[in-house]
Structure 1
Amino acid sequence: MSPTEPAPPSFSAVEVIAAKRDRRGLSREQIDWVLGAYTREEVADEQMAALAMAILLNGMDAAETAHWTQAMIDSGEVLDFGDVGRPLVDKHSTGGVGDKITLPLAPLVAACGAAVPQLSGRGLGHTGGTLDKLEAIPGWRASLTTEQIRAQLVEVGAVVCATTPTLAPADRRLYALRDVTGTVESVPLIASSIMSKKLAEGTGGLVLDVKVGSGAFMKTFERAGELADAMTAIGAAHGLPTTALLTDMSRPLGRCVGNALEVAESVDVLRGGGPDDVVALTVALAGEMLTLAGLPDADPAAVLASGAAYEVWERMIAAQGGDPSAPLPVARHVETVTADRSGVFAGADALAVGTAAWRLGAGRARKEDPVQATAGVRMLVGPGDEVRAGTPLLELHTDTPERLADARRLLTGAALPVDADPPPERALVLDVRRAG
């Protein structure tokens, strides 16, 4: 440093914690310093835990949240895929039960002319993870280099793979800390965590699927709207066109929850079939992504029906070592749950079904836990279907039969309601949010 250059600002962790504890805004310099020092392990976990709790209790305004996001981006690499010959556009879901939408969506958007660099994660808890689902396909690999991602975007137009360890390392450390310190629910921290990784991916547009309901992280429309607004504001502050759809997660998406089960259902959608709700949400999200990509005249519903998206799917899976024609694994044990009375099936509760699938082995309680490719729940009837006492409602799939009793206990009574009258119609897309 030359004598004429100002010395870098110097702070202490206690000073930054106290500022947020006392409801004061954090400056850009304070945020840069604390996240940089935490990444370098110069700020202790207990100090960052105290700051995260202060942020949970006292919040951050839009400017602070934007600065916090940028500091997490700056802690690592920013990917640049260069000119892949198509506009880049991405999608992120906050997670839900049976939320397999990325699987048909990425090849569909690619078949419509855009490029989709979908860097995804593994599941924790009842929501499952995109990589866990795809790893049910024989031979498919999640880890790619940046050069391999770019090549696949050029050749195929879509890639779904694991995020690289160099993206937003400050967020990786902070996310693990929040998980064990009761600070996960902070909207600014959730929004900046999601958006820092998406901004570091170098995409040109982003569509967010913010789930609302019992099977979602955000249980109420108001909280989901707060998160959607925070994320679209971050996108606007960083020059990334961002749209958020608030979508219903009071019931599972589609008929299947699990890993191999959801892959099979996604293939049905790509072949022109599949459950109506999965098809509808895939097409709705594709339309928003194509608009952001500058392709508003594309018709994703027609492209899906044509089979072109399935052809992209086959190429996408094969490019990552998978065999799209190989049989998917099936569970060694399948048990049926039946209706306890006659009437109209009102629809399964998303949280109960997701938790049951988790208990069967489809999810993990800790990030290092293994998952069963075959485990999960298959719904045999849908909302509004008439059933009689003894009618099969769903199947429980697992390789470990000792798990069945636990899952069965979750799926009784209010979790699988059978009523005298048909259930009310529920909108799938509840709202659309854009910054400004």
Structure 2
Amino acid sequence: MTYKEKFEESLPKTNFKNLSFENQEFITKIAFLYEFSFQELKQIIDFAIDFNMWHEPDISKLFNEEYANRKNAFNDIRKKWENFRSKPNSYKNFSKDLYKDDVRKFSFTKFEGEKTALGSCPVASANTRCCNLLTLDAVQSCGFDCSYCSIQSFYNQDKIGFDVNFKKNLENLKLDPNQTYHIGTGQSSDSLMWGNKEGILDALFEFARKNPNVILEFKTKSNNIKYFLENEVPKNIICTWSLNTQTIIDNEEHLAASLNQRIEAAKKVSDKGVLVGFHFHPIVHYENYLEEYEEVYKTLIDTFDSKKVALVSLGTLTFIKPVINKIRSRKFKSKILQMPLTDANGKQSYPLEIKREMFKHAYDTFKPWHQDVYFYMCMEDESLWKDVFGYEYSSNNQMEEFMKMSYMGKIYKNNTL
């Protein structure tokens, strides 16, 4: 088989189609010049995509005019790619305009669910400390366009699906009245951005009223709190906001509400007597990130009464291969994959030393809240707990029980205020 035949046979198994026409031409030229192996060619194509996505120089500018041999050529471009990944990211040359050519467009669709069943957190793993969260999927897919989101690998990103049978099926969901349940609604979509479309909030509020043994958590990046402000909220509902620095919101959390909008929405809901919480997941490593996150932490401490805050969770970027491929298929600029990826229980994430730094810094900054608020790390290696919090759980079940006891205790106190 000639190299031309090998090359043409290899292309469909790579991300070649996601390259610009200019990069396709350039990589074709160097492939025939150096006759890269399939694995080398596949990686070089991904390098080219990453350089473009990271808003770094084009591969044609980084590739030397001449190398002694194929090995030198591949090793040099791989080293340049690794150097970009190893240094802290900078968003100084980023702007919202870099997203305008790939703004996500979606439409609504309806489906008839056969029954409403409690699911497990879609990223749950036995190899990391997990709270065993149960899930209710009222909506399939999210209307926001966060570059790092794992939902994009589970559903068709162009269609937002609403289950027209959700209310009826939810009424038929049978729970053990002697068991405490922690159920989240924001795992397959944002909990609040859709408001009461198709009656989903009506159904969930009624479900919470009928089942006082349920801790029902709404997780959001929106400021759509109209329904919460206009209706009586069951005391066993917790409303939580996923927060980030404005730098990350501007450049990686496309279409979502701003940091100030999220905090203002959380404050209004809290002032109404609803328990709130905050998720810092993902904390992202970039230039001056600790200083910027610290500002957010201190803003929360100054704005909220810790006795009315149920939880603060910490986590960071963790990718499975389908999500990485999905990100590389987009045309927007993102630094989210420009990180020192290492193996994390079969997935890709930051090295433990970076995680230890980001999580310990967050927990230490929140010291004024340590006595009142439940802190945890979401889906992180159990070895981090002792270093960050000074304690650890022996199992996921133990963590789940402590979390539910804390939340129920807070709900009880909130009821008696």
TM-score by length of 1: 0.27
